[in-house]
Amino acid sequence: MVKVSVDLLLRNGIVIVEGREKRRSVAIRTGKIEGIYERGMEPRAEKTIDCDGRYILPGVIDIHVHLRDLEQPDKEDYISGTRSAAAGGVTTVVDMPNSQPPVLTREVLDMKIERARQGRHVNVGFYAGIPAESERFHASTKIDVLGLKVYPHAPLDGSTFNLKRIEESLKLANEMRLPLLFHPDSAQPMVKVRSVEHYLETHSCDSEVESISQFIRIHKEVGGRLHVCHVSCAASAKMIIDNRAEDRLTAETTPHHLFLSDADFSHEDGTAKMLPPLRTPQDNQALRDALCKCGIDVVASDHAPHTLGEKMTSFINAKSGIPGLETIVPLMLTEVFEGRFSWVEYLRMCSSGPANLLGLLGKGVLSKGYDADVIVVARESYPIEGKKFQSKAKVTPFEGKTVNARPVVTIIGGNPVYEDGKFLVGPGSVGTVPVRPLIRPRNT
């Protein structure tokens, strides 16, 4: 009998080698990438997937998602949310703490970990919130989370935020050797929105910039690692670029803030309602430039599912947030295929950059020895259709937009999970929960 040397061979696809497209096969053994081979040099494999004409890429690591569950399964649960990730070509998601109940205690985090273990189809990591009295934060939480997240305009405990809390939050994050992530918005909590204009004014670029400047000011005194979530304005990107030093200040933006602007929508309903709001084409361009200049490190979806009823109502009554797990890869790769981002930029923004940011060594790169979290993508033109999403949330501002990349196979730790519209495994059988860093990035 011939000796089988690898578990899975992705045969004859297109692999990005030193920034260029090359025809190669990718071999996987015991959950890791065994090697990348030229035609005719491949090892024998127990199972082969023909990738002729398709791209073999590292899966996307999406560091900003809201998978809901617990008391909000009508919006999303870990089964539907991680199926949405797998179908979208996202192999690792990091779940935000603004669930119901929010992650302000060790007990709630444990419940979320348990639910995610049962429902998982991809790797799931977590963030924790910070209780109003930060000394109540349970130190044992730190090993199971990848960062601490604060919402100055809507604190998770319903209280109010001030400069003292920014300082306490940064100090706590430093003590735990975790990055502090923040939603940049200095709007007063609980503002009752009266109109579309009032909403946009309340959550304006000035409000975003003011919040970023407060955090940066205190960060300069306290030190540690600070991450700005979903940067949406040109002025914010400039402020971040002007204040960056090594990896202590990092930032992300989203596909919707890169590709959509507010004037594209009439706002009769909540289809394009999210926080931060959409801005202008000038902001889109500034974010693109900042990404290419490494002023912004990563692109994340901010997948924020709500029910149909919560979105299909008047703009002012609708909930903020849109699904993003099934559009991030098609949208970002369309930019690559149409020549607006290079392969190196794409891989840094969507896979290796987010892995580095959270210390997920061993993930985010398609190379020998790395985790076999891999996707296969077909170059194919089609319109985005929310009704086809695996997510429970099906209302997207990208409805009807033509993209030309379709994730067709998703492999988690060497296991094919999704292939051509079908799930090959049930919930809870593949993926790591919680994802932990192999090393903690140094905080100071």
Interatomic CA distance for residues 403 and 381, integer angstroms: 6
As a residue count, the chain comes to 444
Residue in 85, 166, 304, 333 binding ligand NCD, rule: CB under 6 A? 304
Select from Zn ion, ligand NCD, none the partner in contact with residue 320, using the beta carbon and a kind-dependent cut-off of 5 to 8 Å. Answer: ligand NCD
Q: Where are the beta strands (DSSP E) in 177-313?
A: 180-182, 226-228, 249-253, 298-299
Nearer to Zn ion, 275 or 377 (CB): 275
Count of residues that interact with ligand NCD, criterion CB under 6 A: 9
**Is 311 one of the binding residues for ligand NCD (CB under 6 A)?**
no
Residue 320 as a binder of ligand NCD (CB under 6 A): the answer is: yes
User: Nearest-CB residue to Zn ion?
Assistant: 302
Q: Which is nearer to ligand NCD, 252 or 371 (CB)?
A: 252
Q: How far is the CB of 8 from ligand NCD (least distance, A)?
A: 36
Asked if 274 interacts with ligand NCD (CB under 6 A), we say yes
Give me the least distance between CB of 111 and Zn ion, in Å please.
20
Structure tokens at 295: 């002023």
Give CA angle at 22 (362, 54), nearest 5°: 85
252 contacts Zn ion (rule: CB under 5 A): no
HSE-up (13 A, CA, CB side) for residue 18: 0
CA 267 to chain centre: 26
Residue 221 phi, psi (nearest 5): -80, -40
Q: Which residues contact 27 (CB under 8 A, 6 or more apart)?
A: 6, 8, 9, 10, 33, 34, 35, 36, 37, 42, 43, 45
Using alpha carbons only, how large is the chain's radius of gyration in Å? Answer: 21
**Positions 344 through 373 that interact with ligand NCD (CB under 6 A):** none
Q: How many chain residues are in contact with Zn ion, going by CB under 5 A?
A: 1
Per CB under 6 A, 321 contacts ligand NCD: yes
For residue 250, give both structure tokens.
Answer: 């990092």
Residue number, 24 or 66, with CB nearest to ligand NCD: 66
State the binding partner of 275 from ligand NCD, Zn ion, none, CB within 5 to 8 A by kind.
Answer: ligand NCD
Which is nearer to ligand NCD, 172 or 187 (by Cβ)?
187
Q: Quote the least distance from Cβ 229 to Zn ion, whole Å.
A: 7
Residues 378-397, one symbol each (x = binds ligand NCD by CB under 6 A, - = not), give: --------------------
Site string for ligand NCD, 33-72 (x = CB under 6 A): ---------------------------------x------
In angstroms, the CA 265 to CA 316 distance is 14
**In the complex with ligand NCD, which residue's Cβ is closer, 96 or 218?**
96
Taking CB under 5 A as the binding criterion, the range among 166-174, 299-307, 350-358, 432-440 that sits at the site for Zn ion is 299-307
Do the Cβ atoms of 26 and 56 come closer than 8 Å?
A: yes
> Is residue 122 within 8 Å of 85, Cβ to Cβ?
yes
Cα 383–Cα 330–Cα 145 angle in degrees, nearest 5: 135
Q: Which residue has the tokens 């799931």?
A: 124
Rule CB under 5 A: choose which of 185, 302, 310, 345 binds Zn ion. 302
Burial class (CB in 10 A: 0-12, 13-18, 19+), 166: buried
Q: Which is nearer to Zn ion, 27 or 178 (CB)?
A: 178
Q: Could you check whether the bond before residue 281 is cis, i.e. omega within 30 degrees of 0? A: no
Residue 15: which region, alpha, beta or left (left: phi > 0; alpha: psi -120 to 50)?
beta
Binding span for Zn ion by CB under 5 A among 25-33, 297-305, 359-367, 429-437:
297-305
- Using the rule CB under 6 A, is 203 a contact of ligand NCD? no
Contacts to ligand NCD from residues 161-200, by CB under 6 A: 183
Assess whether the previous peptide bond of 330 is cis (omega < 30° from 0).
Answer: no
Residue among 66 and 112 whose Cβ is closer to ligand NCD: 66
Q: Would you say 54 or 66 has its CB closer to ligand NCD?
A: 66
The reply to whether 98 sits near ligand NCD by the rule CB under 6 A is yes
Binding site for ligand NCD (CB under 6 A): 66, 98, 183, 274-275, 302, 304, 320-321
Task: Name the site residues for Zn ion (rule: CB under 5 A).
Answer: 302
